[in-house]
Structures are given as structure tokens and as C-alpha cells.
Homo-oligomer: A and B are copies of this chain.
Amino acid sequence: MHPLATILNSSSVVTDPDGMAPYLSDWRGLAKGTAQAVVKPQTTEDVARVLQWASQTGTPVVPQGGNTGLSGGATPDRSGRAIVLSLERLNRILSIDPVGNTLVAQAGCILANVQQAAADVGRLFPVSLGSEGSCQIGGILATNAGGINVIRYGMTRDLVLGLEYVTAAGEIVRGPRKLHKNNTGYDLRHLLIGSEGSLAVITAAALKIVQPPPARISALAAVGTPDAALSLLRLIRETVGENILAFELMCGNEMNLVRARFPSQRYPFADNHPWYVFVEIGGERDEVVSERTEAALSHALDKSIVTDAVLATSEAQSKEIWHLRFAVSEANRLAGPTVSHDVSVATQDVPTLIANVSRRIADFPEALPLLVGHIGDGNIHVNILLPHQILTDQKNFRAISRQVNDMIYDIVGELDGSISAEHGIGRFKREAFSHRADPVELRLMTAIKHSFDPAGILNPGVMLSASQSLRP
């Protein structure tokens, strides 16, 4: 029997291979590991007991939420020494306050359930992701998840008021406090958010909820260049103010791929276009929002910023438009071997980023850039589709992937951008991060890691490399 089975109870500790399997690889199957046990505590006190045991025995602990991450940050290594700490049974919504606009949820709550609980009292929890049906609050906090509505509501961190957490040594810091304002000491909340389980284990959070916009409308616009997309952004912003809920760019190659893979999906234009912009706008009244959006798009057509545009006049049309955007992940997965990047630059630098990628990708014959992303936030997902036959030689694939990565990261570096806008570092980008981060900041981060986790038991090898994350 695993020693934790006596500390917690036997139903909280899984050691049989079949029971452990779903927790030992990420959902895409790109990260694979092994573990001595998967532990599923039911209370914050249980989490504390697990961490006390782990720190006493020097056992690596890999916190895991819905296991929907894209950076391999919730998968143990192959040593078999680690335990996976699943928060899935801490899944209660503890309180909702529609006056102070707060919602307190345990770490294991599924995002969609939190969204629903907010909706049940007429509020919106505005983090929205493709994986919202299975990702958990603890996971979106640990990775500071982004999504489609960041342009209006910010990243996950911008919606967090307070945390409850357990330190590496197993001490509980009680909470979470529902304070909109609190200037007492260093902001440990923001330090833990985005730390990928490497500093402490978050067990609950007080979240901001908001009043949803009474009216919302979607549109799809065709533009000639990324520059024109930014001109459209400016024009719409000057018409509708801070009511842009989403503003997404997609390249023609990506649209062609989506249409080829999903031929039954309605495409609203007669012609193909080099670039597309997906817009969602909120407002006070349907007629005002649609009138303003129409005015902005007409203006953009008159000024030749936009070459064609459709405004969704019904919920069904709106869904049709967004289906084209949301089909991207699946279309790319089916298309073949891709090297994917989640980069950001200053918004005004996006056209340069794209021009540089388009130019330098010529070094890779038959590679096809598929560009899609949150241009309103300066965040572009640069997916490079490689020819199918490259998969016949895994070694060659890895070598080319590495070259593509270096090229993209070089371009981002020249523009002072970020190599991970919203997906985090995890295991997959750790090496690139350690080479490309400011060395002073890397040293400060390593010192913080040592302060919070002197024994190096919390998610070792994630974000910071083992040599950085262990005391010298």
C-alpha cells in the first residue's frame, strides 16, 4: 500500500496502471511520464498532508487540473519518482456574490461549471477557452490562461481577487479573500498565478464576475493585409469604445484548410481573401450595437480598409462565423505535422512579425505558415505545417522543428516579443525560455523558486530547468 493511502485514505490514492494512465500523458499525447501514485485529495487539509509527506520524503509533486495544457506542464517525468496531485475532487463553488461581483471556487472546479454558476445569477465569468468543458480553475490559474475575450476582460490573472494555497512544506495559507483592493505587502497572488505549480498549490480562488453586455454582435471582415486589420481595429475602437469583446485574425491558408476539412460549414463570401478578421462587439442595446458595427464596417469598406464584410444578423449566423474560427485546432490537427508557436509582440508590430515569418519560412521548402490569433492583443499563433512525408523520419522532423522554432523565436526576439503569450513554458519551452530570458530575471525567478520550494519538490523541471530550480 502506498504510504499516502494511510495518511489520506485508500480511495484518494491510485497506484494501478490503468487508473493512473489518464494522468500520465497530456491530452495531445505529446508529453508522457510515469509516477509512483496519482493522489486525489478531497480537502485543503488533505493537500497539506500530501505536501508535508512529499517534503519530508523529497518526493516530486506534479499538480494537475483538467490536463488540457499545451506545454507539458502537468505531466511527470519518466523517472517514476513523482506523484501526480490531482485537484479534481476539490470541485465545489463555495460562494457567489452578485453585489460585490465575486465567485469563490475550489481549484478542481471545471471552468464551464464556474461560467454556468455565474450565469445562473445573471453574471459572466469571462475566461473562455476551447477546453472550457474540461479545464479546471486551478489549471487556468497556474497557467494564467488567455483565450478569446482577453481584449475586453484581460487574462485569467486579471480576474482573480484572492487565493487559498498550500506551500511546498504543507502550510495552508487560508483564504481566499474577496477583496477588490488590498495593498498589504508583495503581491503573492500574482506570483503564484502563472507559476505552473512550481511555487505552491492553489486550492481555491476568489474570482471577479461581471455583468454581461446586454447586446452582442459578430462580424467577419476580409482584409488585404495585417496592417489593414490593425486599421480596422482602430476604426472600430473609435466607433464602439471599449466594447470590442474579440478581435481575431486568420490567414487565407488557414481559412482554406478549414473549408477543405469542413466543406459543409458555410463560408459567407463569394471569393477567397488573403486575411480575415473575426469581430465580436458588445453593447447596451441590439439596435445601437448593430447600427454602430454596420457604420464602422461601411466606413472601413469606403476607405478600402476592408474588401468585404458580413454582419451576423442572427445568433445562428453568428455561430456560423465563429465555427470557422473554432475549427482551426481540429483542422490543423488533421492537416499533418505542425510546429506550433504562441507568440506575442506589441500590437503595432504584428504586421512586421508576420512579414518576417512569411519571408524567412522560404528557407523551409514546402512549409506552410498557418497564422491565426488574437491580433487585438498582439498574440499570434504561428503554426508551421510541414509536408507529410517528413513524419517518416522522426529524427529529421525533430531537427526541422528545432530550426523552425529557432527562426520564429529569433524573429520574436528582434521585436522584443514573448515566446509564450498565453500557453506558458511548461516542459516544452523550458529550454528556449532559459536561453532567451533576461539573465537577471532568470536569476531572480530562480531565487524566488528557492525561497518558496527549497527542496525543489514542486513540479521540478517545469518552467525553470532542474539545475536552475535546485539550490546550488
Q: In the complex, which residues 126-151 of chain A have their Cβ closer than 8 Å to any Cβ of chain B?
A: 143-144, 146, 150-151
* Shortest distance between the CB of A337 and any CB in chain B (Å): 25
Of B97, B378, B416, the residue contacting A180 (CB under 8 A) is: B378
A341 touches B (CB below 8 Å): no
Asked if B178 and A346 make an inter-chain contact with CB atoms under 8 angstroms apart, the answer reads yes
CB proximity to B under 8 Å, residues A377-425: 377-379, 416-425
Partner pick for A425 among B143, B183, B421, CB 8 A cutoff: B183
Could you tell me if B186 and A233 are in contact, using CB atoms closer than 8 angstroms? no
Q: Which residues of B contact A378 (CB under 8 A)?
A: 100, 178-181
Partner of A211, one of B154, B238, B424, B441: B238
Residue of B at shortest CB range from A176?
A: B416
Contact A99 B441 (CB under 8 A): no
CB distance from A45 to the nearest CB of B (A): 15
* Contacting residues, chain B, for A211 (C-beta < 8 A): 237-238, 241-242
- A: number of interface residues (CB 8 Å): 92
Does B433 contact A444, Cβ atoms closer than 8 Å?
no
Q: Is the CB of B99 within 8 A of A182?
A: no
CB of A452 to closest CB in B, whole Å: 6
List the B side residues contacting A122 at CB < 8 Å. Answer: 238
- CA A144 to CA B243, docked complex, whole Å: 26
Tell me if A213 is interfacial: C-beta within 8 Å of chain B. Answer: yes
Residue A374 CB within 8 A of the other chain: yes
Q: Which of A85-93, A166-174, A352-360 contacts B (4 or more CB under 8 A)?
A: A166-174
Contact partner of A146 (CB less than 8 A), chosen from B158, B181, B243, B464, is B181
- Cross-interface CB contact of A99 among B184, B195, B234, cutoff 8 Å: B234
Residue of B nearest to A210 (CB): B242
- Chain-B contact segment, one of A249-257, A272-280, A283-291: A283-291
**Of B186, B241, B283, B464, the contact of A199 (CB 8 Å cutoff):** B186
Question: A270 in the interface, Cβ–Cβ < 8 Å?
Answer: no
| A201 on the B face (CB < 8 A) | no
A446-466 interface bits toward B, Cβ cutoff 8 Å, 1 = contact, 0 = none: 011111100000000001100
For the complex, is A187 an interface residue (Cβ under 8 Å from B)?
yes
Q: Once bound together, how far apart are the Cα atoms of A184 and B278, in whole Å? A: 27
In the bound complex, CA of A230 to CA of B422 (Å): 36
A171 touches B288 (CB 8 A): no
A437: CB under 8 A from chain B? yes
Closest to A233 in B: B99
Q: List 17 A-B contacts (CB under 8 A).
A: A100-B346, A150-B181, A154-B158, A179-B421, A181-B374, A181-B379, A183-B423, A185-B437, A186-B195, A191-B191, A211-B241, A213-B241, A214-B241, A241-B284, A284-B292, A448-B451, A450-B451
